[in-house]
A and B are shown apart, each in its own frame.
Chain A
Amino acid sequence: MKYIVECKNVWKVYNPESSAEVKALRGINMKIKKGEFISIMGSSGSGKSTLLHCIGCLDTPTKGKIYIDGVDVSKLNDDELALVRRYKIGFVFQFFNLVPSLTALENVELPMVFAGIPKNERRKRAIQLLEIVGLGKRLYHHPNQLSGGEQQRVAIARALANDPELILADEPTGNLDSKSGAEVMKVFKTLNKKFGKTIVIVTHDPLVAKTTKRIVKIKDGKIIGGE
């Protein structure tokens, strides 16, 4: 399978056939090859986050098909979607979204807990991942004891926990200063180059987009360039 993501005429309509109807996505066609490092750019309200949620199996399209690693996910039920998220996809969010009551190590372990990986193995891998993102000395810190950049790197380590092929990042630098943002982008670059991960970054920041190898532009729910 050459493409990790394939979108075919994807529509997402909120509150269909009512006065509050919003057509967030209007017939998206897009293919992402395995090992690509791409950004989806657009202004706020352009539908870029909705697209990411649909690709990330957090949401299902109203119409059209999305294939993840060759599997049509637009027809899967809640539990099947959860399994795709668990094993195929790693998420990185703008606001880090770490569980505040857990340490950095435990946060990275969490996806492996859901995957039923034994404790020892889990711990070993989580430590490895935190070392890769440069936080080998911050294992037992809670999120509120970490800087924004550090939290985001924990989140990246967590996204890698079950070794997914696809990393989806929603404005990963949107809440960081430029230095931390640059560090985070460096980590993504390494993951793409060294570990061959497919990385999709949603952003409105041209500087971030420039770091990636391909830029897909989206406006009013339609792709207007880079597809």
Chain B
Amino acid sequence: MFEFELEALKITWNSISQRKLRSTLTVIGIAIGIAAIISLVSISEGLKQTITKQLQQFGANKIVVMPFASTSTTSSFASSYFTEDDVKKVEKVSGVELVVPFLLKTVSVEYKGEKELIMVAGIEPEKTKNLFENIQGYELESGSFLRKNDKTSVILGNAVAHDMFSEEVEVGDKIKIGDKTFRVKGILKRVGNRLDDNTIVVPMNPLREITGEQKEITMMMVEAKNAEEVEKVAERIRKKLEDYWKKGTFTVLTTRQLAERIKIITSAMTIFLGGIAAISLIVAGIGIANTMLMSVMEKTREIGIMKAIGATNKDVLKIFLIESILLSIIGGIVGCGIGILGSKSLNGVSMVQGGVPLRTSVPPSLIAFGLGFSAIVGIIFGLWPAYKAATLNPVEALRYE
């Protein structure tokens, strides 16, 4: 059935391997384009999955309430805040299991004479255990969580204890936050997320005293009683807060909504990165067209011979198309290989020091896409040279030196 195509493949393979240097250069062009697509798409997909996975760990019954519009920039983050009154309102909403209010501040922290500016999270001490173990799923490396009425103890993020200061901080050590001295009660296991690993958890009231913020609540983490009802609970919270807050000046997001928003952003990134890689493929395609035009010129006489012994225009077209597709698919295979290596080499690497390690993967569909795309490039850029070959006048072609 594909007798002719198979034979044509053999003939073109011969001609490709006879022009090794030129064929190799053409193949490299395609390989770079495909490798770029494979690795860039797999990295951005990996990023998407990493973020999504983190959110899943977070649990499906969580709601984040923030005192600014979700579309606003971080500048309003500082200027707008909730108060204890808002917390109480949210606590009364039906279906709410627990509300954990946060006060987030960047404060000067001193350990053994060394000063650093560190993010400090003020939390009601009795809620730390619940927050970390049940809501965040974080564990302690050493020490214990804060208890009710704990006023002088803190919990350190892993990086604060091990990386921040020249000397390691251990449980029981004294650390100065603002003008108050605290004792380190617990150290969290490494989370892999820069923000949490670099944070100190301090009881709410002492932090208010340090910063002088009497009512401010930076954000609230809400746990719904029932994971299935989380959207409804979020809606109720929204309604409740709308009695006091102008619509659009605060944000209530469930974990799922958060994940969807992040997905939209990362998808846009995937398309953008893939698009850049696609441009490099167009350049490579022009390389193919160039190689094929030279091939047609060099083989003008051969084309004349083939026509003289009975090849139709379509036969000649096929032979040259097969040659360009062969070149581009070889490039595609090499490119997939390089792309997979590139993606693998970035697996586990963090974008920022101490950040979440990236998990990249190359799904079979991406490889299929890479190969398919390379073949399409071969067809598109091989079509014109092949058409030129097919429509050569046999007498003139035979006369060609």
Contacts and interface: CB of A to CB of B under 8 A. Distances in A.
B11 interface: yes
B305 interface: yes
Contact of A85 (B7, B18, B310): B310
Contacts of B14: 101-102
Contact of A91 (B4, B302, B308): B308
Question: Which of A90, A113, A117, A119 lies at the interface centre, i.e. has the most chain B CB atoms within 10 A of its CB?
Answer: A113
A58 B397 CA distance: 10
A53 interface: yes
B310 A86 contact: yes
Contact of B312 (A58, A83, A98): A83
Contacts of B308: 56, 58, 85, 91, 93, 97
B310 A58 contact: no
Contacts of A102: 11, 14
Contacts of A58: 307-308, 394-395, 398
Chain B: interface residue count, which band? 20 to 34
Contacts of A78: 312-313
A124 to B, nearest CB: 15
Nearest to A50: B395
Contacts of A98: 305
Interface in A65-85: 78-79, 82-83, 85
Contacts of A159: 309
B314 interface: yes
A116 B398 CA distance: 24
Contacts of B4: 113-114, 116
Interface string B18-53: 100000000000000000000000000000000000
B305 A87 contact: no
A77 B307 CA distance: 13
Nearest to A93: B398
Interface string B372-401: 000000000000000000000011001000
Contact of A116 (B3, B301, B305, B394): B3
B311 interface: yes
Contacts of A119: 3
Contact of B309 (A79, A101, A118, A158): A158
A40 B190 CA distance: 94
A162 interface: yes
A114 B305 CA distance: 12
Interface residues of A, number: 32
B306 interface: yes
B313 A79 contact: yes
Interface in B322-344: none
B309 A114 contact: yes
B305 A97 contact: yes
Interface in A96-112: 97-99, 101-102, 110-111
Contacts of B395: 53, 58-59
A115 interface: yes
Contacts of A162: 310
Interface string B293-325: 000000001101111111111110000000000
Nearest to B304: A97
Contact of B398 (A85, A97, A101): A97
B398 A82 contact: no
Interface in A8-59: 53, 56, 58-59
B313 A87 contact: no
Contacts of A117: 3
Contacts of B3: 113, 116-119
B313 A86 contact: no
A99 B304 CA distance: 11
A74 to B, nearest CB: 15
Nearest to B8: A113
A104 to B, nearest CB: 15
B106 interface: no
Contacts of B312: 78-79, 82-83, 114
Interface of A: 53, 56, 58-59, 78-79, 82-83, 85-87, 90-91, 93, 97-99, 101-102, 110-111, 113-119, 158-159, 161-162
19 contacts: A56-B308, A78-B312, A79-B312, A79-B314, A82-B312, A82-B315, A83-B312, A87-B310, A97-B304, A98-B305, A101-B14, A113-B3, A114-B312, A114-B315, A115-B310, A116-B4, A119-B3, A158-B309, A162-B310
